[in-house]
Structures are given as structure tokens and as C-alpha cells.
Amino acid sequence: MWLESLGDWSWPGRAAAADALPLPPAWVPAFPPALAPAGAGAGYPSSAGRRSRTTPRRLLLGVLFSALAAVCFALALKGPLTLERILGRGPASPPALADATPPRPAVLSQPPVLAQPLPALVPVSHDAAGSSIERASYPSPVLGGEGSFLVYLPPGFAVTTRRYPVLYLLHGQNGHATAFLEIGLQSRLDRLIAHKAIRPMIAVMIQDRGGLENWRDLGSRGSASYLVEVQKLVDRMLPTIATRAGRAIAGNSMGGFGAMHVALANPYRFSVVESWLGYFNNLEGELSADRPIISRLGLRAFLYGAQGDTVADPSEDAAFAARLRSAGASAQSAVYTGNHSLTTLSEHLDEMLLFAGRALFGAS
């Protein structure tokens, strides 16, 4: 059907009216068959002996009205009827825009990702003050081996419904989480809490795998990410204050480096950081990136070294504390007598627990 003009026209082979429009182009099929002139030739009955037959003009108008009705019906059902749709070339679609989003591939439904199973806390010891030490171990995806940690639970923990701030503790190179218990962590916390010098808190002593580089993500070994993994597990396992304001992190030697590294690499996760006989190699970039966050949220820090330390240069503590202050942190530093040893740590453990407990005081 020729739809380029809606005027009247005659079928090929039949004379057109004087006011008829030009004939359709040659590609239009000649149907219905050419009609012989009225009364000319056998097989065409005369007009006197039959009903009046439909004229080509009426036939064309009928066809055109039918086509118009079809167009209206298509518009109601499927939207605009375009030339592509008329000729069967597929559904109509708006022209593609230059910045149009490419179609997304089909996404197959996946089962929901289950949370990492919680490890069980196994009692290790209780003391007369009512605090306890418990241990947890589990297969760590990011560490690529067994992860484990010790937990100090304060007196009265089992009979209260309160939430507690948490101090995370990192051991030194090739060290052990039990080192903090060896220097009296449990009894020191018991005494400070009993004397109301600090409010009750939880302490988590994390065990890293042995090696020369603790508390860093190196290759397939993600020690820094492992620490964050433990922190997330602890928030699910225990009634913690699960916010930045409720978390402190500290460590000795390489653990002091790890505490500062993880705190700066996760500025929205810890509000207090301490470095005991630690160092700060290549942490200036992380500190520089954190300046807007520290200036807005704050950060409490204490860094100390020992005069006779031949492993970690004690002069680095004051210098890095100054950089922290320039970024907006509240940072203190000190250099004590002693050397790079657990003895020096034990001599200043009360001071460090007081600093962390008081910095977290407002969170609980």
C-alpha cells in the first residue's frame, strides 16, 4: 500500500478521474487486478442486471480508514508506530545518546553471602578481682591461616548489659599476644578499674603470624587487614561500643608501627592510638591524606621511646607527634629511661592504660 499520499488515485490500467493525483511509483504492486472498462467484453455483466459495485475510490478510502484504525490501535497498545515497526524491522527505540549507559548484562540470581561464622570464646583464666581472659581462634581469610586473639573481660562483665570501649593491642616482631599478660595487663586493668581511674573496658590482644613484617598487607598476607577483620568480629561477638569513639589501638615495637599504620589507614575506625617503643617508617603519606579527617574528627595519640633503644630511634617519637599535631590531632610524646625491652613496657604500662582509658571515657 502506498502511503506517501492520501489523495485519490486509480489502479493501474483504469482511467483516472480528471482531478486524480499522480499515479503511485512503479514499485507498488498492481492489485486488485486491473479492471476492464464497464460493459466492455464478456464476463462483465451490465450495470442494469447487478448491484452497483464498489468503486476504486471507495475501496481505497476503506483501506485507508482501516489502516488509520490499525495505527490508532497500535499507538494505544505499543506506543508510536514507526516506519521500522510497519516494515517489521524490530521495535522502535529512541536514538542512542552519546552518554547513554550501555545495557547491563543479565545478572543471575546469587545466594545471599553469609556472614563469617563467629569463633567461640574459650575461657583461659579468671582472677580474684572478677576479670577473665578468654581465647578465640578461627580460619582467617585475609591472613591466609589461623587467626587468634586473647580477650580481657573486666570484672562484672557477665552480669551487666552495658557496652564497653575496646583497646586493641599488637605485639612486636615475631612476638606473642601473651606478652601483654606477661607484663601484667590483667592485674593493671583490674586495679585501675577498681580505683575508678578508668571505666571498665575490654582489651583484645591479637596474634599475628611470625615473620619479619608484622601488621602490614604484603602479597597474599594481609596482616593489617587481618586486624580490621578481628575488630569486626569482636564487635559482633561482644557488647562493644561499635563506633570510632569506642576504639583505641596500641602496640609495642613493630606493633607500635602497626598501631599507627592501621589507625592512619583506617581513619574512621580508631579514635586513640599509642606507639610504645615503635617507629613510623613511610607513614607521612598516610598522615597527609588523613589531615581533613583528623582535623574534623580529632585523634588522641601518645608516642614514647627509650633513651637506650638501639632498635627504634627515640627521636622519631617527638617528630612524628609534631606532625600529628599539625594535622589536627592531640598528640603527646615522651622519651623514658630504659631500652627496647618488655621491662620498659612494664614500667610504663599503667600510664598508657590510663591514657587510653581516659581518652575513651566519653565514649562509654
Question: Are both 177 and 71 inside the same structural domain?
Answer: no
Read off the CATH number of the domain in which 349 is found.
3.40.50.1820
Is residue 184, in this structure, part of any structural domain at all?
yes
Distances (CA, A) of 215 to 55, 135, 206, 210, 286: 95, 20, 10, 10, 15
Burial zone of 333 (CB within 10 Å; 0-12 exposed, 13-18 middle, 19+ buried) = buried
Cβ-Cβ contacts under 8 Å for 43 (sequence gap 6 or more): none
Please compute the mean of the pLDDT values over residues 240-258 and round it to a whole number. 97
Per-residue pLDDT of 195-217, as tens digits, reads 999 999 999 999 998 776 789 89
Please give the biggest Cα pair distance in the chain. Answer: 134
Mean pLDDT across the chain: 80
Query: Which residues form the domain of 313?
Result: 122-363
Per-residue pLDDT of 298-307, as tens digits, reads 999 999 999 9
Is residue 108, in this structure, part of any structural domain at all?
no
Is residue 42, in this structure, part of any structural domain at all?
no
Provide the pLDDT confidence category of residue 41 given band limits of 50, 70 and 90. very low
Provide the pLDDT confidence category of residue 314 given band limits of 50, 70 and 90. very high
Question: Are both 275 and 342 inside the same structural domain?
Answer: yes
Please compute the mean of the pLDDT values over residues 121-127 and round it to a whole number. 96
| 162 in Cβ contact with 193 (< 8 Å) | no
Question: Are both 85 and 145 inside the same structural domain?
Answer: no
Question: Are both 65 and 147 inside the same structural domain?
Answer: no
Question: Are both 318 and 229 inside the same structural domain?
Answer: yes
> What's the CA gap between 96 and 115, in Å, rounded?
42
Question: Are both 247 and 335 inside the same structural domain?
Answer: yes
Q: Residue 280's closest CA among 314, 257, 251?
A: 257
Is residue 107, in this structure, part of any structural domain at all?
no
H-type helices in 15-104, by residue range? 56-78, 83-86
Is residue 359, in this structure, part of any structural domain at all?
yes
Is residue 112, in this structure, part of any structural domain at all?
no
Q: Domain total for the chain?
A: 2
> What's the CA gap between 180 and 342, in Å, rounded?
9
Please compute the mean of the pLDDT values over residues 290-315 and round it to a whole number. 97
> What's the CA gap between 201 and 361, in Å, rounded?
9
Cβ-Cβ contacts under 8 Å for 345 (sequence gap 6 or more): 183, 252, 276, 277
| 32 in Cβ contact with 1 (< 8 Å) | no
Provide the pLDDT confidence category of residue 26 given band limits of 50, 70 and 90. low
| 337 in Cβ contact with 307 (< 8 Å) | yes
Give this prediction's pTM: 0.69
b/e code 275-295 from CB counts within 10 Å (16+ = b): bbbbbbeebeebbeebeeebe
Per-residue pLDDT of 271-288, as tens digits, reads 999 999 999 999 999 999
